[in-house]
Chain A
Amino acid sequence: MPGVIAILCRCCGQIEPAVDLQALRERIGREAGVVSVEFRDSLCLPEDGAAIVKAVESSGADRILLAACSPYGKAGDVVSALCARGIDRSRVRLVDIREGCAWIHRGDQTGATAKACDLLCMGLGFLRYGGCSTDAVVAVRPECLVAGAGSAGLAAAVSIARAGFQVHLVERAAEGGGMLKLISRVYPTDVEAAEKLRPYLEEVERNPRIAFHPKTRVVSATGFAGDFKVRLASVTGDVNVRVGAVILATGAGVWLPRGLYRYGELKEVLTLMELERRQREGKTAAKRSVFIQCVGARCPERPYCATMCCPSSIKNAVLLRKADPDAEVTILYRDIMTPGHILERYYRSALEAGVRFIRFDPAQPPVVSGDGHVERVEVFDAISGVKREIETDQVVLSTPLVANADNAKLSELFHVPLDGYGFFREDYSLHPLETRQGGIFICGSARWPVSSAEAATQGEGAAMKALAILGRKEISALSLSRLPEGKLGHARIEDGACSGCGNCVAVCPYDACTLQRVGGAFVSRANKMRCRACGSCTAVCPNGTVQMPEHNARAVGAMIRRAFAEGDAG
């Protein structure tokens, strides 16, 4: 029966004398199942790779135990190189006896050698029981679902279609355009919003690869990266689509400042959105206007800055001044957020255009008053320390964008978590635009409030991410990993042993486990494509039904038993 070859690396003299390699060799040689023990001066030099393979082949061993340096350094590369030569990863075990033993216990040769022996025995125990996950390969559907036809969704859809893939662009409204349909002009170019949208909408119309589904909602979604099955519902009936990737670009919602600054009580107290509508409809502007910034933002309920209200107010203030040079326009602000040189210039142009800026402290907010119709705003000027009274015909409240009311439903359907404010949660800072679920991406204000230009940029970014999947003919479960060296393995559920308790379903961060009815009972099934091999399920399964072959209980148990030579043996 084949056995294990143990290769002890001297690391060019860096391991001895802290660890007595001769003693180690004798000890390991006595272990059952070890067919050969060899010394090498190094494992990592260019000529070593072939020599190791040759040694393995001539020993007849089918598993390799390497005692060398740390997995983070050269030894890790050695293992990778061996695997690249066709040796199964589950048949190689690296034990660190340099950084993890010789270097850290230099003064204690007895202890260090005993530890090295134990570490190697642990490695042997692991090799005996370590297994290998069977991969699953799925054909990738070369189509993409984009939910939301606003700035972000349109940009994403157009990018994907131009790259040659079919897009299903789903929009709950009757037309595309999203929030740009509600505003008059876009900052900082002051181009008309409709103009901005036109090329995208025309492309949607024209490009045969974009299937536009207006007045449609997503009602169910199952599957995984490469093959999502999504059901779309509209008044004309339901449609089922199968797509390789999903982009959520559902935008954000507008927040109404009820109860603040006499909104809803006094005439001509408006939100920015309402002002935009008037501009679009060409209604006559008020002679005197006061903008109040940070209404309902940067407060305990919504402690964030929505980034767009300052440039938007500046834009509208300048437009009012341009339309009527006698108009009096004042912006009451806490801080002016116009990052970057372009927006800085935009801000300064407002000053040049005659817009007045007055700073207030949030502890002393402006007071809006009037009788039926707004008449004046009192504000304590935080910079000059003077209380000012501004007579006005109109008060415009800048409110933040808030999460779209549909996010919660979509979050549930796609198993994509939301953050504390209801926006879709991005996965960890290393993976922009990605969510916890592979194959599902987020962009635009669905992710976090942004301007239409930024939303379009993110839309193209999400498209790039989606294309990385769509462009493949097939995808294997083990390759669906954000770790550079691939996934360790995936969860495997033993037939007939599952009691259906649901613990694994509850703890999986990726909703990879589901309970299915088999006969009269429930049994858990693990989806290999969604599983990321974190091992959470294995730790909560009461009877060890779910295991990861690469780190199964028997292998770990063997390591634990052999960790201290005076513990259990075998």
Chain B
Amino acid sequence: MNAHGMTDKTTTPRVLVFACRWCALVGADAAGRGRADLPASFRVIPVECAAMVEPDSVLRALASGADGVAVMGCHLGGCRFNDANHVALKRMEALGDLLDTVGIGRRRLLLSFGAAHEGRQFTEVLGAFFRELAPLPSLAAWRKTLLNQPSFR
């Protein structure tokens, strides 16, 4: 059992993080330099801006083995691309509605705009996300079951 109250074997949730390189990626970097301790089951994809993250990519991630997806951008008003992150936040929130509709749940989508600039913040935000995801069923396992059903391929 690690500090986050989770076993870090296959039961550890897998998280794909889209991190804006002006803020969250710096936070992730600082977390590393500060020798923070996070489960090894997350992967980071750096982006120029949270606006660049397609909601379809988030869906793709959830269908490719991720149990949760984090989209991290700058705080509103602080985007280097002048409010590009506003639309990103709104669209991701709408995506949350859709995820709720089908029961995948918006809990599997973490939106952090302006809360992960520093190492400690990044660690806290991601750590909290891991804790939330821990009790949820594994999406990867769910998908495997689906793919193993009789079908035409």
A contact set with B: CB distance below 8 Å? 70-72, 96, 98-101, 103-108, 111-112, 114-115, 118-119, 122, 427-428, 436, 482-483, 488, 507, 509-510, 532-536, 538-540, 548, 551, 553, 556-557, 559-561, 563-564, 566-568
Contacts and interface: CB of A to CB of B under 8 A. Distances in A.
Contacts of B109: none
B66 to A, nearest CB: 7
A242 B52 CA distance: 34
A548 B46 CA distance: 15
Contacts of A566: 65, 140
B35 A509 contact: no
A77 to B, nearest CB: 15
B83 A509 contact: yes
Contacts of B28: 99-100
A70 B91 CA distance: 30
A104 B31 contact: yes
Contacts of A104: 31-32, 35-38
B26 A72 contact: yes
A98 B91 contact: no
A494 to B, nearest CB: 16
Contacts of B26: 72
Contacts of B64: 560-561, 563-564, 567-568
Given A122-B43, A567-B65, A536 B84 contact: yes
Contacts of A548: 52
A514 B48 CA distance: 23
Given A509-B84, A510-B82, A556-B45, 8 more contacts: A70-B33, A99-B32, A107-B37, A108-B8, A115-B41, A538-B54, A560-B64, A568-B64
Interface string B15-52: 01000010001101101110111111101111111011
B17 to A, nearest CB: 10
A103 B29 CA distance: 10
Contacts of B54: 538-539, 553, 556
Contacts of B61: 560, 563
A111 B65 contact: no
Contacts of B114: none
B140 A567 contact: yes
Nearest to A509: B82
Contact of B47 (A98, A112, A551): A551
Interface in B68-105: 80-84, 87-88, 91
6 contacts: A99-B29, A103-B32, A107-B37, A536-B49, A536-B87, A560-B16
A509 to B, nearest CB: 4
Nearest to B48: A488
Contacts of B53: 535, 539
B111 to A, nearest CB: 14
Interface size class of B (residues with CB under 8 A): 35 or more
A420 to B, nearest CB: 13
B14 interface: yes
Given A104-B32, A563-B65, A564-B65, A539 B88 contact: yes
A436 B28 CA distance: 29
B86 to A, nearest CB: 9
B40 A111 contact: yes
Among A510, A536, A568: residue with most chain B CB under 10 A:
A536
B32 A535 contact: no
A557 B60 contact: yes
Contact of B60 (A103, A428, A560): A560
B57 interface: yes
B35 A106 contact: yes
Contacts of B88: 536, 539
Nearest to A508: B84
Contacts of B57: 553, 556-557, 560
Among A119, A507, A556, A560: residue with most chain B CB under 10 A:
A560
Contact of A436 (B33, B39, B48, B82): B82
Nearest to A567: B65
A551 B40 contact: no
B46 to A, nearest CB: 8
Contacts of A482: 80
Contact of A535 (B31, B38, B44, B51): B51
A99 B84 contact: no
B43 A115 contact: yes
B43 A70 contact: no
| 5 nearest A-B residue pairs (beta carbon) | A535-B52, A111-B40, A567-B65, A99-B32, A564-B65
Given A118-B43, A509-B81, A105 B38 contact: yes
Contacts of B16: 560, 563-564
A309 B9 CA distance: 69
Nearest to B52: A535
A112 B40 contact: yes
Nearest to A72: B29
